[in-house]
Amino acid sequence: MARVKGGTSSINRHKKVLRLAKGYRGRSSKCFRMALQRLEKALQYAYRDRRAKKAEFRGLWIQRINAGARLNGLTYSKMMGGLKLAGITLDRKVLADIAVRDPAGFASIAEQAKAALAKKAA
């Protein structure tokens, strides 16, 4: 049986890796072995950070809600507790957007939360 060298498939695989590694510094974009290592690490970072991004955005939303709540005389935890008591079911993403884009609307939501907290305390 004839020997198979696999030339075209190797070349195509190398070209694919080097194309994906385009823009890397130095030999990392030119040499196949280094490009493959850098590419594998980049894919690991991408996988990890797609999951970390969700936690980072949640933290950002909480900071924005807290800032808006403090302008209206509440803390974040009191605001969220008051919203729950008032039966307002807006998620953090929407609340943060309202706090940034519509301070007057956020103030009215905060007043409803305050009223629910006062009603519970009384």
Contact 79, 86 (CB under 8 A): no
Quick: pLDDT tens for 44-77.
999 999 999 999 999 999 999 999 999 999 999 9
Please state, in angstroms and rounded to a whole number, the distance separating the CA atoms of residues 29 and 13.
Answer: 14
* pTM over 0.85, yes/no: no
pLDDT the model gives residue 63:
98
Mean residue pLDDT of the chain comes to 95
How many Cβ atoms from other residues are within 10 Å of residue 109's Cβ? 22
Tokens of 75: 């803390």
pLDDT the model gives residue 64:
98
Per DSSP (E only), the strands in 53-108 are none
Q: For the chain, which domains are there?
A: 10-121 (1.10.1900.20)
Please state, in angstroms and rounded to a whole number, the distance separating the CA atoms of residues 79 and 61.
Answer: 13
Quick: pLDDT tens for 3-26.
888 789 999 999 999 999 999 999
